[in-house]
Amino acid sequence: METKPSMAKKGKPNRGIPRFSEDDASRSRARVQPEELKHTRLLVPQSLFERTLRQLADRSAGWRESAAIWIGSLDGDDAIASDVLYHHELCEDNAGPLSLELSERAKFELYRTLATKGQKIVSLIHTHPRDWVGLSAVDEDNQICSRIGFWSLVVPWYGREPWDLARIGIHARTNDGWHEFRGSEIGRRVVLV
């Protein structure tokens, strides 16, 4: 949050009323941590993390969204990523500056492949154009997995470096929509191994 000294308001504490934006409201909701996510973690090998972000940045090329799916295994509260599949390799993703898709057919093939290999989808990761890393209504509706604790990461600036977890949107599926982890929680939840 930005804090700018406001000289103009000095000495006039009662001027105006406090403003609470939609963003503030969703932020305070996000702080109430759902019980079902109490110990949930996402473990990602550092090399996989870097490979994925490099590839997403290349695909986004500074003008369009790109996305990938981390697959791997589940162990209690831990989701462990071990490999990556890119939307643009799974299908024609029709990516534009603010959107992209994974076709129903590609999803079906993905589920079949994973079932054969005995692997799970552990996280979705996609890029956004600027610094906003919330989930849009479209993102929330674009379900590839409704499992509680399923992860969805949003990378700002079309995946451009530096890749700092603190600037990435870290969301997990709850009983009732999505929860966004913030601040010091992020380092405890997403662990690069």
| DSSP E strands, the chain | 41-44, 67-75, 78-86, 120-127, 151-155, 169-174, 177-181, 190-192
Q: Which is nearer to Zn ion, 59 or 80 (CB)?
A: 59
Long-range contacts (CB closer than 8 Å, 24 or more residues apart) made by 6-14: none
Under the binding rule (CB under 5 A), the answer on residue 180 touching Zn ion is: no
Asked if residue 139 binds Zn ion (CB under 5 A), the reply is yes
- Backbone CA torsion sign across 87, 88, 93, 95: positive
Interface size with Zn ion, residues (CB under 5 A): 2
Nearer Cβ to Zn ion (66/80):
66
φ, ψ for residue 40 (rounded to 5)? -65, 135
Verify binding: residue 93, Zn ion, rule CB under 5 A.
no
Rounded to the nearest whole angstrom, what is the least distance from the CB of residue 87 to Zn ion in the complex? 12
Quick note: the x/- pattern for Zn ion over 98-137, rule CB under 5 A, is: --------------------------------------x-
Distance (Å, whole) CA 71 – CA 54: 17
Residue (80 or 125) nearer to Zn ion, CB: 125
Contact residues toward Zn ion (CB under 5 A) are 136, 139
